[in-house]
Structure 1
Amino acid sequence: MSAPAPLPSSSIDDERTSFSREGLKRAFLDHLYYTIAKFPKIAGKNDFYLALAHAVRDRSLQRWLSSSAQYNQAAPRTVAYLSAEFLMGPHLCNQLINLGLADTAREVLAEMKLDYGEILRQEEEPGLGNGGLGRLAACFLDSLATQQIPAFGYGIRYEYGIFFQTIIDGWQVENTDKWLRYGNPWEIPRPEWSVEVKLGGRTEPYNDDAGRLHVRWVPEKTVSGVPCDYPIPGYHVNTTNTLRLWRAEATEAFDFSVFNRGDYLGAVNKKVTSENLTKVLYPNDETTQGKELRLEQQYFFVSCSLQDMLRIHLARGSAIAEFDRKFAVQLNDTHPAIAIAELMRLLVDEHLLPWERAWGITTRTFSYTNHTLLPEALERWPLALFERILPRHLELIYEINARFLNDVRIHFLGDESRIARLSLIDETGERYVRMAHLACVGSHAINGVAELHSELLKSDLLRDFYELWPQKFSNVTNGVTPRRWLALSNPRLTALVTRAIGDAWITDLPRLRHLEEHLDDPAFREDWRAVKRANKADLAALLLRRTGVKVNPDSMFDVLVKRIHEYKRQHLAVLHIVTLYLRLKSGRARDHQPRTFIFGGKAAPGYHTAKLMIKFITSVGEVVNNDPDIRDLLKVVFIPNFNVTQGQCIYPAAELSEQISLAGKEASGTGNMKFAMNGALTIGTMDGANIELREQVGAENFFLFGHTAEEVRQIKQAGYRPMDYYQSHSELHACLDLIQSGFFSRGDPELFRPLLDDLLQRDPYLLLADYQSYIECQEQVTQAYQDTEAWTRMSILNTARSGKFSSDRSIREYAERIWKVRPTPVTLLNGNELEQTLK
């Protein structure tokens, strides 16, 4: 690939931030010497990584400061994306791609006899997310900057991210994710902009000098929120936005008087308890203490973020009453929904605005993205716990609810059951605060993340809100950034595509359609296959290093990587493997195509069934991989600690993408988009964004199976009996019986009994009902794969027609329809010009 020219640096800073090879090399050596305090002969790989990271960061800073200066001067409406997760992936490779420095950096390192890929692999991936939600947030930040839209990402700087997963005897074991152990060159702390966050305590009414009634919150404790900033550059533009993550600190970290009394632990007690707030991503909330910590985390980061926005707003010379004209705040799921009550508190209690005026500002400021169709995934907090931690917010929520329900009574006269369903307080049994309801009531816009998901929100999960406010609802189908998930992760395919159609597709993904003009070119198809084969060889080498399992790169790579959950149905894929195994052992597998089944994903620490599913995958793999009769006909590999870095190797190598969740359960999915963009074909249900993916790539280039969401509803309504499927399908019967016998559990018939009992007695996600359709569809996959030329054409078409699934398109839709923001191009400023903007 001939890389686009790097962005120009301004003349005044050429010596310090030059984009030339000589300039980057000088900066690299300077940082190795002056920042890392090493010289090349004693430096290690991580030292070289840090030196390169600092040199590249320097080249982001001028754009970052230019962006900030011009935003402060022009005060455009700014997007604030509130998310409990930002799964950014490694920063250095993304910065190099977006700044146009990748080839230059490669040349500089080669000149010094250093391996470019090896140096990049030194970066500790910041695991500040659990899966799709955090990865989507990262894609959106990339697209916001590339689309030149002023934006902040706001979240939590977890000291320890999502756990590091190891597999021991087939079981998931969670280890501490020490992503900060060697420091973080991308982070710039801003202690001067710290804010205080209150927790617990009580409220007191008081009257001001004019006799007006107000409320004062007297907290039990106060913690300090310290912002830590990360530059987020757009692709080949000057715009560089900010990801601002908050770290908790004690307001008084050390009690000297307590220390002098000999209580050395007590002297730092406040520091320890305060810093626990941002210690770990998603503490296990099975205990009361875990629930408290999670609610405190959510409130902490939204309070910090809103206080920061108000600080910026006032510093720009704007009136408090104009806040909603200057900030559009997006709630990424319900985790930040408490922001609605917090903004009301800040406006009413701190800035003394009348209720009606404050409520108007609040509802015009917020919009809410729902990411789930699972009722149990909608957050709700026990009233007693909520009151203990956020007493003032509960009072505000009561007031919001009372006013809201008065409107509902007028709109739905006499419909008391609807009032109970819509209330922000769940009164059935133990009383709860419903966070999704708060998000709906306090936002001017509510969107789903795929067409089916948005329709199901309106017809099912949020039906009452839709019937009350249909104008609030819309759909914005998710997307992924082609910079990370194609240009960066698949350089071979990027080079091939760019030679064929130019490089404009990197910021205009629908241009990939021009690849269809090369479908009938045998040389192009041969090159396409060569790229995929080389990517498969890379992944095979990674699998051998990480798991010890040797796989054949010439077998079909059948991949299922995502969070482990029953509704995602990883165990359905395992039933297919067991079925194939039985067919091979009995000699009934005609025209079998050798396959390598690759799994990856993490189970939540407290989700015991999901952990058993991992054990199920690895146990079947242990038997299959060691059966001499099978050899390379089947291989099963579970790659531990699936993350962004591994995804960058896995998506380009995949040939079959498994998207097999039960229809009506997956909100969107974004892995399906990454696979298709990299030329994998999809086997999937009519669920989430699969539907739109199938529409785009063509039904003939998508392997569809399973019941639709409406059929699922009818089956359940009629009284689903999974045992009927077990008794009527001989292969399914034999498959489940073999598992039950202990064959895959070293003779222990009890190990997988919980999984099997659940399938035969309840099967809430209809594995047995979809089994036969899935098996038959997999047979179609085998037949299609054996026609190499036809499969190659289908692969090219999947890439060519994936243009809709760019996060650039998603961001444009949010910007135009929901946020009402426009691009604000940034001019690169030199030092003198930056100084002028401060005056």
Structure 2
Amino acid sequence: MSSDYQSVWRKRATQHAALPTDYQKHPHRTSEAAVQIEDDRTGMNVETLRRAFLDNLYYIQGKDLQLATPYDLYMALSYTVRDRLLQRWLHTQEVYLQQDVRSVCYLSAEYLLGRQLGNALINVGLYEQARAFLKEMNLDLRDLMEQEIEPGLGNGGLGRLAACFMDSLASLEIPAIGYGIRYEFGIFAQSIRDGWQVEQPDRWLRYGNPWEIPRPEYLVEVKFGGHTEGYIDPAGQYRVSWVNDRSVLGTPYDYPVPGYRNDTVNTLRLWSARATEDFNFQVFDSGDFARAVADKTYSENITKVLYPNDNTYQGRELRLEQQYFFVSCSLQDIIRRYLSYHSDFESFADKVTLQINDTHPSIGIAELMRLLVDEYLVGWDKAWQITRRVFAYTNHTLLSEALERWPVALFGNLLPRHLEIIYEINRRFLDEVRERFPEDEGRIARLSLIQEGSQKQVRMANLACVGSHAINGVAQLHTELLKKDVLADFYALWPEKFTNVTNGVTPRRFLLLSNPKLALLLSERIGQDWLKDLDQIGRIESLVADPAFRSAWQQIKDDNKRDLAEYILQFNQIEVDPDSLFDIQVKRFHEYKRQLLLAFFIVTLYNRLKRQPDLEIVPRTFIFGGKSAPGYAMAKLIIKFINSVARVVNSDPQVSRHLKVVFLANYNVSLAQRIYPACDLSEQISTAGKEASGTSNMKFALNGALTIGTLDGANIEIREKVGPDNFFLFGLTAQQVYDLKARGYNPRDYYDSNAELREVVDRISAGGFSGGDTNLFRPLLDSLLYRDDYLVFADYQAYIDCQEQVSQAFRDRERWLTMSILNSARMGYFSSDRSIREYSRNIWQSEPVPVEPESPAIRPAAE
């Protein structure tokens, strides 16, 4: 950590409110003298923690305080906290085994966990104790927390949702294990050079990871390639043997997932690939040194990087390898665990439920059939009954291009047995469909697991629907659009399978940890129950007219904005006004999310100020953040455009006193936790009918930001909860979008008829934001003028008008403050705890299993 960086964080730490003491105590409430003994290995009092911290620094990091780097200190503290999780963690697993519980197995290719130290300190009940003993040693807890390298094991809302769900599962005491991939390099580290996104390797494991424990004893083998051979077994049954041509070994790494204020610690198990033979001595001895380790390199590529670019055949093949690898590892592990206590598969579906987080793990349906039929000799019909009972599918997209399809040739080359199984599933399934819908070949073609054409493809969403007993969307509108459009034929076939579970976020990370000053204010006024029952936050609505409460709320928002302004100055060298309206859009870059629409609004204001230098407008700081997929050229061009607009606006004295534009590089969970509390206006402006749900909209509103948005995804439900008067609505509805496109949408008509829009486009076209280069942004403008797939032009004027309503509201600061409080107060529904309760009740049939303390001798005693 640089000295400048340290100084910024030390200053912030001294300003940051301490978390309330009661947050940090175990439910049994600590009496330090009651239990602690001199040599207690995992005691919870300040002195024992200090001793353990120094021991870990010395014996694990090999340093003393004189030689220790800030990262050494972070590692020592993390091991100290992990030590106190281990007893709960092991005991939780023992309880699950002893009670033979029904377990939720959550399969996700992404987990955006965020930093673990702060979350673990809060959940295990040690935040204030750690803060206290470090302060005695002239160390600052926040400085150490900032040393943690965030695991970038996801690229957006899918992975962040999975992490929220794991937190809620543990906090609600529901037996669960998450399965995923331990990517050696997570989502790339983003830097901005000359306005362009530059991707750099995310070496999150380069200094080790104190939160993981390798479990090599549970190594599994995963097969690829080869061919299949049929044979008749001794009982006269036809069987198939998969003769693979290569294998990869999967090693599990376990991460503790502690529940909040309970003794449950669930497990996240991530798989890492390694070769079956790391080193060929004979080849090495012959002098071919590179080939001697070629198998190791090839095998370990599978878990090398998150989502390799699939613009090439090799990239697509590697993606499929990744998905099959982690699913096969996970299913083999699940079966091993099950058979440790059962002799057959009769109760498998009663003890295991498998949730597919989008289509990435849907190959698991074919893999479970292979394992049951080929490896454990279960009959096809019985195996299919088990498979359909255990799998459930969450759809996360309305974009057809995001519904995975794999070329049959690639699929068969990599997974020949699975292709046979999918064809057999499809044959039987389509026979059922023909019985219900005779002579409806169009329906047959749409429902088939195989898409016909010049290049046949396996439809993974169709496989997920056929092989699951439940299908859910993640917001009310999203689920309705699945029923009506994306999965309409499956809904007609099995309407009972479909349900909605609107997404949610964990208030522990996204309010308590992110915004501790606000959390402290809430708890002082309404108690702490809101942390486990977010509906309780609604009680602050009765305080909306309380002058002291209002003043404190505004002061906290101002403090958070100043903190973000300091960060921007430090890392972007841009000075922004904390009193200006912080207008923020941070999310993955995609055309449907319409970062361009906000950028066009900025250019509109720029044009107005250039025409009328004395124009009075509400000062705004526009803040963007997010990454584009490396192969997504248009999204990367949009990032370049935003940074080009920022350069022009920020360097123009006539404009910059009113407007500033900031692009925060390398947006991740840790940066998001700083941004959400400082936001005034949350931009949720996707084209209606394109965003499945969104979760940043929830996090912003929970922290008191107001939303400007379309009727898309969970925006609809947020607006219903907070009230139309506290939400800035604009734009076409999903039905209007559909109707407009059906009639024939011509974006040029909007350009010709709207003078301000035309002025925006013409300034860009003339090189006004590209140093006179008229070609740089030509692809962007052509995409709008001749296609405008996401209706930026059609919604432009409604958006500009709505932004004027925002300005009017912000001028009345007392009105804005009231709206801010009401947004937070009415967000109780959007807790991931509520989402998990709905999954448990409606899909998983899972019940909480409380874990009682195993040994009072190493736990805080009850007073």
1:786 paired residue among 802, 807, 811: 811
Question: d(CA) in 1 for partners of 2:422 and 2:280?
Answer: 36
Change (3 A) 1:769 1:812: same
1:605-616 mapped onto 2 (5 Å cutoff): 605-616=630-641
Q: Secondary structure at the match of 2:537?
A: helix
Does residue 1:108 correspond to 2:126, yes or no?
Answer: no
Partner of 1:459: 484
| 2:35/2:858 contact within 8 Å kept | no
Question: d(CA) in 2 for partners of 1:354 and 1:831?
Answer: 49
Q: What are the superposed Cα offsets for residues 754-774 of structure 1, whole Å, 9 maximum, x if unpaired?
A: 111111111110000000000
| 1:238/1:826 contact within 8 Å kept | yes
| 2:705/2:823 contact within 8 Å kept | yes
Q: What are the superposed Cα offsets for residues 503-542 of structure 1, whole Å, 9 maximum, x if unpaired?
A: 1101100101100111111121111110001001111111
Change (3 A) 1:224 1:12: farther
2:689 paired residue among 664, 671, 677: 664
Q: What are the superposed Cα offsets for residues 396-451 of structure 1, whole Å, 9 maximum, x if unpaired?
A: 00000000000000111110110011000000331000000000000000000000
2:321 partner letter: E
Does residue 1:79 correspond to 2:112, yes or no?
Answer: no
Question: d(CA) in 1 for partners of 2:614 and 2:801?
Answer: 13
Does residue 1:246 correspond to 2:277, yes or no?
Answer: no
| 1:561/1:600 contact within 8 Å kept | yes
1:320 partner letter: F
1:761 partner letter: Y
Q: Secondary structure at the match of 2:152?
A: coil
1:229-378 mapped onto 2 (5 Å cutoff): 229-317=254-342, 319-378=344-403
Q: What are the superposed Cα offsets for residues 562-615 of structure 1, whole Å, 9 maximum, x if unpaired?
A: 000000000000000000111112128754110000000000000000000000
| 2:511/2:702 contact within 8 Å kept | yes
Does residue 1:762 correspond to 2:787, yes or no?
Answer: yes
Partner of 2:548: 523
Question: d(CA) in 1 for partners of 2:656 and 2:322?
Answer: 50
1:555 paired residue among 580, 584, 591: 580
1:711-750 mapped onto 2 (5 Å cutoff): 711-750=736-775
Partner of 2:45: 20
The alpha-carbon deviation at position 104 of structure 1 amounts to: 1.1
| 1:3/1:100 contact within 8 Å kept | no
Question: d(CA) in 2 for partners of 1:93 and 1:480?
Answer: 17
The alpha-carbon deviation at position 109 of structure 1 amounts to: 1.1
Q: What are the superposed Cα offsets for residues 310-360 of structure 1, whole Å, 9 maximum, x if unpaired?
A: 000011235323211111100000000000000000000000010000000
Partner of 2:21: 3
Q: Secondary structure at the match of 2:406?
A: strand
Partner of 1:777: 802
* TM-score, structure 2 normalization: 0.95
Q: Secondary structure at the match of 1:308?
A: helix
Question: d(CA) in 2 for partners of 1:113 and 1:319?
Answer: 59
1:629 paired residue among 647, 650, 654: 654
1:372-411 mapped onto 2 (5 Å cutoff): 372-411=397-436
Partner of 2:9: none
Partner of 1:837: none
| 1:73/1:316 contact within 8 Å kept | no
Change (3 A) 1:654 1:832: closer
Change (3 A) 1:296 1:806: same
1:429 paired residue among 454, 467, 471: 454
1:564-643 mapped onto 2 (5 Å cutoff): 564-587=589-612, 590-643=615-668
Partner of 2:13: none
2:309 partner letter: N
Does residue 1:88 correspond to 2:109, yes or no?
Answer: no
Partner of 1:696: 721
Question: d(CA) in 2 for partners of 1:277 and 1:119?
Answer: 33
Q: How many residues align?
A: 834
Question: d(CA) in 2 for partners of 1:832 and 1:619?
Answer: 62
1:361 partner letter: I
Q: Secondary structure at the match of 1:297?
A: helix
Question: d(CA) in 2 for partners of 1:703 and 1:481?
Answer: 25
Question: d(CA) in 2 for partners of 1:704 and 1:740?
Answer: 30
| 1:174/1:605 contact within 8 Å kept | yes
2:240 partner letter: V
Question: d(CA) in 2 for partners of 1:426 and 1:119?
Answer: 53
Question: d(CA) in 1 for partners of 2:527 and 2:327?
Answer: 43
2:637 partner letter: L
Change (3 A) 1:592 1:515: same
1:208 paired residue among 227, 233, 240: 233
The alpha-carbon deviation at position 833 of structure 1 amounts to: 12
Partner of 1:811: 836
Partner of 2:8: none
Question: d(CA) in 2 for partners of 1:211 and 1:589?
Answer: 91
Question: d(CA) in 2 for partners of 1:650 and 1:104?
Answer: 27
Question: d(CA) in 1 for partners of 2:319 and 2:643?
Answer: 32
1:225 partner letter: G
RMSD, aligned CA: 1.4
1:48-63 mapped onto 2 (5 Å cutoff): 48-63=73-88
> Could you tell which deviates more after superposition, 357-366 or 309-318?
309-318
Change (3 A) 1:401 1:321: same
The alpha-carbon deviation at position 831 of structure 1 amounts to: 10
Question: d(CA) in 2 for partners of 1:207 and 1:712?
Answer: 57
2:77 partner letter: L
> Could you tell which deviates more after superposition, 392-401 or 624-633?
624-633
Partner of 2:471: 446
Question: d(CA) in 1 for partners of 2:573 and 2:858?
Answer: 57
* TM-score, structure 1 normalization: 0.98
Partner of 2:57: 32
1:660 partner letter: I
Does residue 1:119 correspond to 2:144, yes or no?
Answer: yes
Does residue 1:486 correspond to 2:535, yes or no?
Answer: no
1:147 paired residue among 172, 178, 181: 172
Q: What 5-or-longer segments of structure 1 have no aligned partner?
A: 835-839
Question: d(CA) in 2 for partners of 1:704 and 1:551?
Answer: 27
2:695 partner letter: T
